Structure 1
Amino acid sequence: MQDLLTINIENNSELGPVVSSRTVAEEINRRHTHVLRDLEKILLSPNVDSVIIPSEYKDSTGRNLKEYLLTKDGFTLYMFNIQGHNDFKMAYINKFNEMENALQNKLPGSYKEALSQLLETVEQKEKLELENSMNKQKIAEYEPKASYLDSILQNKSLVTVGQIAKDYGMSAQALNKLLHDLKVQYKQSGQWLLYSKHHDKGLTHSSTTEIEHKDGSTSVRMNTKWTQKGRLFIYNLLKENDVLPTIEQ
């Protein structure tokens, strides 16, 4: 036994549960043309066109053929005009009742209930939009960090303290002083050197610069440059002290 259908009439208002005349013909083992003929006789009576609705279907060859869609009242009206098939009648009437009850339970019973349902839908939508915005913000907050760390890890060259300081929006002198205050380095003979506990970590590399003076003499100056590992060390250390690079602020 086939399930009932739910359709919309041309104005798109809800028609409710219906059954096709083809389904009825199949279930009671009659030719569809005979069922159509009987229905058209019933349609000669007044006030039945709202319960027996003309429609069309495509057959296996693609042709548009006539059928009727019967509401519960239309189905009952038709079945009262034929003898027998009581089990079939009751099964379909029970199915109509079941579907109508299901549809009725889905609809708000009053204007107040309708407003309540609408408010709940709006609140759920706003909640989802807020969660979506929060997730986007979290992603945006994580992206700069990943970008900054990626730039460190992908760059294999040595960098000066001035280059690192620029990432934090400060001067080289300010960053050197901050690293001194954090017990990372000290200054000796004009060069910043790491305290002994950081010596063997591969954080820095000393380069030599030859300076030519006006009198033609030359001297050598040692400069401390940071490796990318050292740059990452500075990043983690400053972060622990609530100092972030500009891109993450």
Structure 2
Amino acid sequence: MNNLASIEIENNSEIGLVVSSRTVAKELGRQHKHVLEGIDEMIKNSTADISALLISNQYKASNGKRNREYLLTKDGFTLYMFNIQGHNDFKLDYINKFNEMENQIQNRLPGSYKEAVAQLLETLENNEQLQLENNMNKQKIAEYEPKASYLDSILQNKSLVTVGQIAKDYGMSAQALNKLLHDLKVQYKQSGQWLLYSNIHGEGYTHSSTKEIEHKDGSSSVRMNTKWTQKGRLFIYELLKENDVLPIIEQ
């Protein structure tokens, strides 16, 4: 893994924390022009406006010429890296460094004991949230790793299903199935969210997306919506069958 102290993320006074596409190219061992072409293609094909995440910029080269680059925010970096196979250590190191620098910027020296206690509680909550986001990122990165198995080629166009839909097949609630999958060491709960154990992250069983939720007090948090693929549904079927739990149609 990279040393976090050596990771090249800059705090741009106008934009915030960003990493240059030149740095991404260097770390991936690619030509910068190929990274630029990849980002150009992402922006062109995206149905949403992602220009605020992948910011066009210019830099002065050693020969005095001004060349093109992109400045990637944390979300822009994550979005781009989801399209790149492998390099998981690099991906997680940079995401962790983004989180660490954001946390440092947010922390301020308290002016009183009361403020110090309030800041400590906030820091603990932030650390817990960062850990949760890191675990969610690990799961999403593993899910996005391309697989080339014959089974995947069959299932890739099948629809995604919620845990509630699967639970109905067994005549149980989503809560009951989640608890059962927890007991069988498939998933664990952190901050009210179910996450897969790392040994099955990359098996193609789930597909997850995240969204930011604004609360009434003005704070925000990130929630992850995870659905099961048909491959994952087969995995659950085989696992429950081994434990003498059968769907209603087979009972």
TM-score (ref. length: structure 1): 0.40
Q: Please tell me whether Structure 1 or Structure 2 has the larger radius of gyration of its CA atoms.
A: 1
Q: How does the TM-score come out when normalised to structure 2?
A: 0.40
Higher-RCO chain (CA-CA 8 Å, sequence separation at least 6): 2
